[in-house]
């Protein structure tokens, strides 16, 4: 015990606890100029991005003990944060340019926070509050949020129209059942399962994903040629490329695509 006490005193003497300063106080201590402008631009965005990632970690226990009750207020704080145009007011020079560069990241983070807050509230039984946040995320193009709302209203019902392994034809019953079990085994939420393999819901996004790929493949082929490699359309990395296209279409054009499909049905 004496050794431990002596060691603690020596450690404190050699390595004192650092004094933490707020981002605002650091900003005030910077002289007028480039560094101050850039710091101001980041200070308008970074805290919200930090809180979103902390909330995500708390919800599932990634690196820290899980605590969904602590994650919800963080998600709500990010979801209810000012719009980017409000945060950008008053920024100068390189601070404004830096803010504009990260603006899409901030806006996507805010939409994601609306969706995640809606999910947590729904699980806790607060249906009205959940619907409000899901509707706000859906209004910004979040396909999963729109699908969650449609599922809760009964506007979209589970169907056996699961895509077969070729991706186009309908699977046979046993194969469709196995696909469902595989997705459940991976822990995929029901709404995401619809977007991935249910033909009634997923196929309306096909054109968007195809256009996204077609507009970029020539660029990727050129980039690979410059690196001395071939961009092979049959390689497995193409799955990861298609996944990127899917996320763009689900999150930027999701609401319109799903709404059109429901009306058509």
pLDDT in tens, 139-197: 999 999 999 999 888 877 766 789 999 998 999 999 989 999 999 999 999 889 999 99
Question: The tokens of 152 are what?
Answer: 């809760």
Average pLDDT for 110-136: 95
**% of the chain beyond a pLDDT of 90:** 51
Q: Which of 40-45's residues contact partners 24+ apart within 8 Å by CB, and which partners?
A: 40/91, 40/92, 40/95, 41/91, 41/94, 41/95, 41/96, 41/97, 41/98, 41/99, 41/102, 42/98, 42/99, 42/102, 44/87, 44/88, 44/91, 44/99, 45/87, 45/99, 45/102, 45/103, 45/105, 45/106
> Among 23, 16, 74, 19, which residue's Cα sits nearest to residue 48?
74
User: Rounded CA gap, 177 and 102, in Å?
Assistant: 43
Give the model confidence (pLDDT) of 216-249 as tens digits.
999 999 999 999 999 999 999 999 999 999 999 9
pLDDT exceeds cutoff 90 at 1:
no
Query: What is the chain's alpha carbon radius of gyration, rounded to the nearest angstrom?
Result: 24
Give the model confidence (pLDDT) of 114-126 as tens digits.
999 999 999 999 9
Q: What is the pLDDT of residue 21?
A: 54
User: Average pLDDT of the chain?
Assistant: 83
Which single residue is written with the structure tokens 């003497």?
Answer: 13
Asked if residue 191 lies in contact with residue 230, where contact means CB atoms within 8 angstroms, the answer is no
* 115 Cβ contact list (under 8 Å, min separation 6): 133, 134, 137, 142, 144, 145
> Among 122, 100, 265, which residue's Cα sits nearest to residue 198?
265
pLDDT exceeds cutoff 90 at 34:
no
**% of the chain beyond a pLDDT of 70:** 79
Q: What is the pLDDT of residue 154?
A: 82
pLDDT exceeds cutoff 80 at 19:
no
Asked if residue 204 lies in contact with residue 156, where contact means CB atoms within 8 angstroms, the answer is no
Query: Cα 6 to the chain's mean position, in Å?
Result: 48
User: Rounded CA gap, 100 and 87, in Å?
Assistant: 11
């Amino acid at each position: 015990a004496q050794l431990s006490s002596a060691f603690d005193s020596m450690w404190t003497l050699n390595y004192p606890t650092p004094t933490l300063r707020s981002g605002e106080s650091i900003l005030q201590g910077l002289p007028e100029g480039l560094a101050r402008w850039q710091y101001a631009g980041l200070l308008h965005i970074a805290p919200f991005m930090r809180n979103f990632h902390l909330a995500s970690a708390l919800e599932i226990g990634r690196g820290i003990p899980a605590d969904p009750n602590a994650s919800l207020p963080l998600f709500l704080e990010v979801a209810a944060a000012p719009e980017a145009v409000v945060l950008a007011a008053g920024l100068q020079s390189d601070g404004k340019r830096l803010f504009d560069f990260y603006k899409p990241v901030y806006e996507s983070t805010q939409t994601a926070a609306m969706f995640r807050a809606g999910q947590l509230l729904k699980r806790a039984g607060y249906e009205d509050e959940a619907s409000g946040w899901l509707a706000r995320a859906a209004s910004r193009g979040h396909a999963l949020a729109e699908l969650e709302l449609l599922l809760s209203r009964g506007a979209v019902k589970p169907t056996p129209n699961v895509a077969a392994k070729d991706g186009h034809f309908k699977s046979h019953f046993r194969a469709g059942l196995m696909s469902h079990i595989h997705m459940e085994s991976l822990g995929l939420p029901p709404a995401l399962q619809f977007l991935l393999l249910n033909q009634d819901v997923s196929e309306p996004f096909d054109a968007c994903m195809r256009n996204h790929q077609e507009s970029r493949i020539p660029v990727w082929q050129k980039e690979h040629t410059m690196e001395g490699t071939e961009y092979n359309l049959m390689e497995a990395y193409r799955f990861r490329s298609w996944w990127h296209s899917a996320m763009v279409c689900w999150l930027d054009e999701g609401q319109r695509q799903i709404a059109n499909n429901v009306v058509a049905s």
